[in-house]
Structure 1
Amino acid sequence: MEVAVLPLQRNLAVEAGANLLETLLAHQVPVSYSCMAGRCGTCRCKIVGGRVLETGPEESRSPMGAGESVLACQATLIESCAIEIPEPDEVVVNPARIVKATVAAIEPQTHDILRIRLAMSKPLQFSPGQYATLKFTPEHIRPYSMACTGAGDGLEFHVRVVPDGRVTSYIASTLKVGDTVRVSGPLGTAYLRRKHTGPIVCIAGGTGLAPVLSIVRGAIDAGMSNPIHVYFGVRTPADIYGAAWLDELKARHPGLHTHVVVASSPGPGPWRTGVVTQIVDSDWQSLDGWRAYLAGSPLMVDAATLLLGRKGIRPEHIYADAFYPSGV
């Protein structure tokens, strides 16, 4: 039985029943991975030929064939197949960990957004743009994106308090400085691709600004000189936050351009008015050769994905981890 890993064109002799990720790692094939439990999505790859059996707890255990994507850590080889590894030159390995942290600060940013800073007992290795699961109590668990880069000894998260939200109401009313939080991660595939040298567009909605800040900060720390255009969409002027952070980043990166877009504006201000995807549409005729990072509501992410595809960005170069409202 052989596994041909494309585009590396490497033939691997393996036995049926072997785990795909373990097989790739055993043969030193470059592949990104983290949790190895089907949660982070980092090891997702594409079946080009043949079939594999996806064996995760939520899967039907039916064979998956050519054209379908699969998590390598949850895939069992059942016949000769060809697997395409996305971006084999951008491999990221961040071992999943559970780290104890302490709440260092809870800082209001707007009428419904809090900045949570955590002091970590041990460092958590992650790539800019990824997220982690925060366990405040056994009943209050929620994933949030890091707004920092992991260069220091703390983590930063942005939380929008949702009316009657079980977890966010706890954060707003009960969580206090000094409380213990367990951080599990990293998770997510919308992390910074450091080897890309072309232009970058980032589109954020609401607290989707957090992972975008992480990505831009990571790009600057890595010495990337790419032109970067950040579009930050909010509903009203009262929802704008982080302007000082964006200005600070512009001072550090001459190629960074930021656009704050307010959907409903009562009057003139230092921002643009409209729907953020419409503003991007009006600004650019073509985005061929660009990379895109999206963060926000599923509706915004879906609309931006369709728009950017029409503008020429290849689907595999649009990176997004949409924020779903369940469990807030």
Structure 2
Amino acid sequence: MSTPAEHHVLVDGTGVRFSCTEGDTLLRAALRAGVGLSYECNSGACGSCRYELVDGEVRDRRPDAPGLSPRDRRRGRRLACQSEPLSDCVVRAGSLGEVTAYRPVTQTARLRAVRPLTHDMSEFVFTADEHAAFAPGQYAMLYFPDGRVERAYSMSNLGNRDREWKFVVKRTPDGQATSILFDKLEVGSEVVLDGPYGHAYLRPERNRDIVCVAGGSGLGAMISVVLGAAALPDAVDRTAHLFIGGRREEDVHIPEAVLVARRRLRALHVHTAVSEADGCDAQPPCGIPPFRGFVHEAVVRTLGESITGFTYYAAGPPAMTDALARALVVERGLPADHLYFDRFC
């Protein structure tokens, strides 16, 4: 078998260079090399990784990706997360940011267990070939056996030496990836795991109390952040709030791991919010009736005047994270660098 070709990429005006193996994307190759290109979803939907190709040739994995507007296309912009270099390239990108201590690695992982959480959400446990090195709150890309479907899912555990990666996944109607996970993948099946990625990871150096806001499958990332905070040496001096949003009460789940974290932190307050009232007879989580409304509204109502005194982490659908950012940063004056989130589209 021939060795895949490597192409060299120069970031125009910076002197920064990195190599990209044939078949890898420009974004992921940069992150593997420690070059912090801007990104969020890693799947072509958000547009955060827009760049201009100055010289060279690339292949677009997803030419119709929604992350590019008609204006972007007219200006020749592309998405680094969907671009596979076919030659040496020169690119013009925005400012280069930070890269976590964990650079993404591609490896094989095997499904070890599936644990149902709600009527349409389960935790999938994989054991990887090499390691499970990631920061609390990050996500990984999973490639499924047919080789054509990949999706981003947040880890719901902490980095560990047992090579264990856990993912909370919500079934999506007619979703290709979730239909494979819930209906076709059997224990022992292999997937390709590429990670870690993501910006909504715990910053332990910030000596502030934290608020975690989760919507849908974003629950996994926020559980990881809470567990990470509870594992810090000064956990007994930290307070955390965890807000979990869903459409109905039956959509909301509070994992047992949260109760473990509560014993190590000074305080952990769990709040739930449901946006639809459907007369469901499901028992409220922890026996406490949920807030009726959207989860960002629950954050504002609950924290009140103290709202700017926290560092925030959030994961969930774009509508949720955008509404939260408006409520906190635009309307309440929270400094933008006190809010970290990953949007899953």
Q: TM-score, normalised by structure 2?
A: 0.71
The one-letter code matched in structure 1 to 2:153 is Y
In structure 2, stretches of 5+ residues that fail to align are 1-8, 19-26, 39-50, 61-71
Contact 1:288–1:313, Cα closer than 8 Å, also in 2: yes
Task: Please say which of residues 132-141 and 299-308 is displaced more in the overlay.
Answer: 132-141
Residue 248 of structure 2, aligned match among 232, 236, 239: 236
Matched with 2:194 is 184
Q: Is 2:316 the partner of 1:296? A: yes
Residue 43 of structure 1, aligned match among 36, 40, 51: 36
Contact 1:41–1:189, Cα closer than 8 Å, also in 2: no
Matched with 2:214 is 204
Residue 19 of structure 1, aligned match among 11, 26, 36: 11
Contact 2:152–2:344, Cα closer than 8 Å, also in 1: no
Residues 293/76 of structure 1: CA separation in 2 closer, same or farther (3 Å cut): farther
Contact 2:30–2:36, Cα closer than 8 Å, also in 1: no
The one-letter code matched in structure 2 to 1:287 is I
Distance of 1:39 and 1:57 partners within structure 2: 19
Q: Is 2:114 the partner of 1:106? A: yes
Residue 101 of structure 2, aligned match among 93, 103, 112: 93
Distance of 2:202 and 2:245 partners within structure 1: 21
- In structure 1, the residue corresponding to 2:344 is in which secondary structure? coil
Supply the RMSD in Å over aligned alpha carbons: 3.7
Distance of 2:222 and 2:305 partners within structure 1: 23
Residue 147 of structure 1, aligned match among 156, 160, 164: 156
Matched with 1:169 is 179
Residue 328 of structure 2, aligned match among 308, 312, 319: 308
> Could you report, residue by residue, the CA deviation over 1:148-185 in whole angstroms, capped at 9, with x for unpaired residues?
11124201001111222112112111100000111001
> Could you report, residue by residue, the CA deviation over 1:246-281 in whole angstroms, capped at 9, with x for unpaired residues?
222212222221112233353774232212111211
Residue 285 of structure 1, aligned match among 285, 294, 305: 305
Alpha-carbon shift at residue 63 of structure 1 (Å) = 11
Contact 1:262–1:273, Cα closer than 8 Å, also in 2: yes
Distance of 2:32 and 2:73 partners within structure 1: 17
Alpha-carbon shift at residue 99 of structure 1 (Å) = 1.1
> Could you report, residue by residue, the CA deviation over 1:205-256 in whole angstroms, capped at 9, with x for unpaired residues?
1221100011111122232433211111111121122342322221222222
> Could you report, residue by residue, the CA deviation over 1:68-92 in whole angstroms, capped at 9, with x for unpaired residues?
xx99xx99698xxxx9776x7xx62
Distance of 2:17 and 2:267 partners within structure 1: 38
Alpha-carbon shift at residue 35 of structure 1 (Å) = 3.6
Q: TM-score, normalised by structure 1?
A: 0.74
Aligned length: 285
Identity over aligned pairs, percent = 30
Distance of 1:40 and 1:294 partners within structure 2: 27
Task: Please say which of residues 295-304 and 164-173 is displaced more in the overlay.
Answer: 164-173
In structure 1, stretches of 5+ residues that fail to align are 1-16, 27-33, 46-52, 65-69
- In structure 2, the residue corresponding to 1:37 is in which secondary structure? helix
The one-letter code matched in structure 2 to 1:278 is E
Residues 130/305 of structure 1: CA separation in 2 closer, same or farther (3 Å cut): same
Alpha-carbon shift at residue 18 of structure 1 (Å) = 5.5
Contact 2:141–2:151, Cα closer than 8 Å, also in 1: yes
